[in-house]
Amino acid sequence: MRFGRERIEYKTPEQVLRMRVAGLVVAQALDAVREQVAPGRTTADLDAVAAAVIEGAGATPSFLGYHGYPATLCVSVNDEIVHGIPGPRVLAPGDVVSIDCGAIVDGWHGDSAITVVLDAPGGADPHDLALARVTEDALWAGIAALATGERIGDVGEAVEDVVDGALAEGLNDGHRYGIVEEYVGHGIGSAMHLPPDVPNYRTRDRGARLRPGLCVAVEPMLVRGSRLTQVLEDDWTVVTNDGSRASHWEHTVAIGEHGIWVLTAQDGGAARLAALGVTVAPLD
Ligand code: MF3
Ligand code: CO
């Protein structure tokens, strides 16, 4: 989703509390899927697990029916980056599985994604484990920038810094991870996709000012090879051009008067952000 200079929806503290209810349903659904994902399961199995949690919570899946999207989750495997449609595909040892979930409660949205690298005999490929770990690190650095920065552009800068750091560390066989540019993070609230765009790369335009009431989904997508993408015949699944593997991580984050809170994390992001020197600001 891409937006120009449209109006940003700033939330009241009460509205943010309602978004947290939706965010925690998403967190719960992803926790359940994380427990179930394993070689031998199908991607449709994972979709059923998430659907049951969302329904059990009295919430509504936000992806189902979105521009005709046919499922509760997006499950993107290996060279699939995002928007993989769950189906009969059987997961294999060593697969890199990105799982994206969204839910609505009382009209308010939460959106989050994780990547799981499945175990394999002799262990998963260390390159895949590093890809997933660096992408998660990039997510948290981007989230921390919402607390320490001044503008949306600080998120992309933080993501790029993590990617540069990984290169300096010699990860990915000395190749810089590709940062996907066609898909970006977004404002979120009374709809899943709202302005502003939240790019995962440095931009000349530094973007909207970070201020209380702004809620955004930060969602870096990194790939081991070229950042270039294509969309499959199903009109949804986004894959890397070169077949290299991809990871996608996402959280929904609120900016408040006194700091940030990660709405799709049980602890509001406290643990991961403390490691980055950021203290989260409880909502109540
Ligand atoms: N969760 C995706 C995002 O973060 C959106 C999924 S698109 C859908 O933007 F069509 F699958 F819903
Ligand atoms: Co999103």
In this structure, the number of other CB atoms found within 10 A of the CB of residue 121 comes to 6
226 CA distance to ligand 2 middle (Å): 22
Q: Taking Cα atoms as reference points, which of 272, 254, 273 lies closest to residue 110?
A: 254
Task: Report how far ligand 2's centroid is from the alpha carbon of 191 (Å).
Answer: 11
Residue count of the chain: 284
pLDDT of residue 46: 98
pTM of the model as a whole? 0.97
pLDDT value at position 39?
Answer: 98
Decide whether any atom of ligand 1 lies within 6 Å of the 197 Cβ: no
In this prediction, residue 4 carries a pLDDT of: 59
User: Looking at the domain assignment, is residue 145 inside a domain?
Assistant: yes
Task: Residue 248: name the closest of 140, 137, 132, 106 by CA.
Answer: 132
The answer to whether residue 281 is domain-embedded is no
Q: For ligand 1, say whether the CB of 66 is within 6 Å of any of its atoms.
A: yes
Q: How far is the CA of 255 from the centre of ligand 2 (A)?
A: 17
CATH label of the domain that carries residue 237: 3.90.230.10
Residues 6+ apart with CB under 8 A from 112: 23, 26, 27, 30, 100, 101, 102, 217, 250, 251, 252, 264
For residue 1, being part of any structural domain is answered with no
Q: Is residue 210 part of a domain?
A: yes
- The per-residue pLDDT for range 66-78, each reduced to its tens digit, is 999 999 999 999 9
pLDDT reported for residue 51: 98
Ligand 1 atom 8 nearest Cα: 63
283 falls within a domain: no
What is the predicted pLDDT for the residue at 231?
98
Ligand 2 center to residue 121 CA distance, Å? 33
Ligand 1: does its nearest atom lie under 6 Å from the Cβ of 219? Answer: yes
In a domain, 251, yes or no: yes
Nearest CA, atom 12, ligand 1: 63
Q: Tell me, using a 6 A CB cutoff, whether residue 208 lines ligand 1.
A: no
Per-residue model confidence (pLDDT) at position 261: 98
Tell me the per-residue pLDDT of 89-107, one tens digit each, with 9 for 90 and over. 999 999 999 999 999 999 9
Q: Tell whether 17 is covered by a domain.
A: yes
What's the CA gap between 204 and 210, in Å, rounded? 17
- Domain-embedded: residue 59: yes
Question: 242 C-alpha to center of ligand 1: Å?
Answer: 23
**Predicted confidence pLDDT, tens digits, the chain (284 residues):** 566 568 999 999 999 999 999 999 999 999 999 999 999 999 999 999 999 999 999 999 999 999 999 999 999 999 999 999 999 999 999 999 999 999 999 999 999 999 999 999 999 999 999 999 999 999 999 999 999 999 999 999 999 999 999 999 999 999 999 999 999 999 999 999 999 999 999 999 999 999 999 999 999 999 999 999 999 999 999 999 999 999 999 999 999 999 999 999 999 999 999 999 999 999 98
The pLDDT, as a whole number, for residue 16 is: 98
Contact (Cβ atoms closer than 8 angstroms) between residue 240 and residue 232: no
One-letter amino acid of 34: R
Domains of the chain: total: 1
pLDDT of residue 264: 99
Q: Which residues pair with 102 in a beta bridge?
A: 111
- What domain range includes position 103? 9-274
